[in-house]
Amino acid sequence: MTVTGLQTHMLRAQRLQDNPLDPFPRNDNFDIMPDRQVGQISVTESMSPLLGVDLRTKTNASFKLNYGMTR
């Protein structure tokens, strides 16, 4: 998982500065304001190997075949 654009919530910082006794400042909808704002989150899944075959002959020659996916 990759998180980009992590910023301090400036409106929350302003409300804390205006009223330092309120530990949980709220927005106009009376929701508790988060400490940080996240710009973007990317989640990448890797299925490796999704399908795999390992073969070994009597003469100890080995063959490997793998198929994987990323989404």
Judged against a pLDDT cut of 90, whether residue 61 lies above it is answered with yes
CA distance 38 to 5: 6
How many DSSP H helices and E strands does the chain contain?
Answer: 1, 6
Does 3 or 67 have the greater pLDDT score? 67
Tell me what pLDDT residue 56 has.
94
Judged against a pLDDT cut of 90, whether residue 57 lies above it is answered with yes
The pTM score is 0.41
Alpha helices in 1-71 (DSSP H): 10-18
pLDDT, tens digit (0-9, with 9 covering 90-100), for 10-52? 888 888 888 888 888 888 898 888 888 888 888 888 777 788 9
